[in-house]
Amino acid sequence: MSHTPDERYAFGESLPIAPVDPGSTVFVAGPAMSPAEDLATTMVADGCHGEEGSLFISTNTTCERLLDGCRRTHPDLDASRVGVIDCTGQVSGDRSHEAEVKYISTQSDLTGIGMKFSALYESLYMASGGPVRAGLVTLSSLSMYSDLRTLYQFVQTLSARIDSAGGLGVFAIDPTTHDEQSINTLSQVADGRIDVREADDADGQLRVRGLPDQPDGWQPFTLPR
């Protein structure tokens, strides 16, 4: 079934996250050793179960590793509906993947990342018939190369593009690498936040804040294998 502009974005049964409104940007917050980044990636890749596009900005994982992980957790992934902006600086000689991949040599080039994001988003938007999930993994990595004002403007631009197209933005952030002022400033861009922590009896626990119709408190979750 195709996705209509007023349809919410849904997630896998193992994630206790209620469907999210189109045009939303969500921060997924957790320290580096938590499953926050994997959760953010899964939330974007979950779109493969419908007729949606998935666009990743990857700062610390090469496109090959990212795509391999998505295929492992989502065997029905249609790579032709996936775009990756690889900002690791590691250009592989293997170009056989079906996904559309763009490379950025340095994470300090936010202008270049933004331009490639707009071009890929438009391409996926047309190919998928409209809905696109966009993941930034991770926002914190980019903060090491840019000042707060520049990074805020960059994230605000991405969020505005997602909002205007009725898409979904999922941005992973490590709150332990930012001071409180930076977190508060960057959070102004987000419609909601999902906090992530480790758990003994599950892959992790999450708590959704700022988004409507969500479960209360900390909830255990399991990531697809």
Residue 3: predicted pLDDT? 47
Tokens at 53, concatenated: 């596009």
Mean pLDDT of 13-30: 97
Query: Which range is most confident: 76-80, 93-97, 151-155?
Result: 151-155
Domain spans, the chain: 24-212
The superfamily in CATH containing domain 24-212 is P-loop containing nucleotide triphosphate hydrolases (3.40.50.300)
Q: Rounded mean pLDDT of the chain?
A: 92
Tokens at 160, concatenated: 């505005």
pTM: 0.94
* CB-based burial, 4-35: b 16+ in 10 Å, e otherwise: eeebebbbbeebbbeebbbbbbbbbbbeeebb
CA distances from 2 to 11, 47, 49, 83, 168 (A): 16, 11, 11, 19, 16
Residues 6 or more apart whose CB falls under 8 angstroms from that of 40 comprise 28, 135, 137, 138, 170, 171, 172
Pairing state between β 100-103 and 82-86: parallel
Mean pLDDT of 174-201: 94
Residue 94: predicted pLDDT? 60
Residue 201: predicted pLDDT? 86
Identity of the residue numbered 96: S
H/E stretch holding 46: none
pLDDT band at residue 74 using 50, 70 and 90 as cut-offs: very high
The residue ranking higher by pLDDT, 37 or 32, is 37
Query: Is residue 41's pLDDT more than 70?
Result: yes
Query: Left, alpha or beta for 24 (phi > 0: left; psi -120 to 50: alpha)?
Result: beta
Query: Is residue 180's pLDDT more than 70?
Result: yes
pLDDT band at residue 5 using 50, 70 and 90 as cut-offs: low
Residues 6 or more apart whose CB falls under 8 angstroms from that of 14 comprise 221, 222, 223, 224
pLDDT band at residue 175 using 50, 70 and 90 as cut-offs: very high
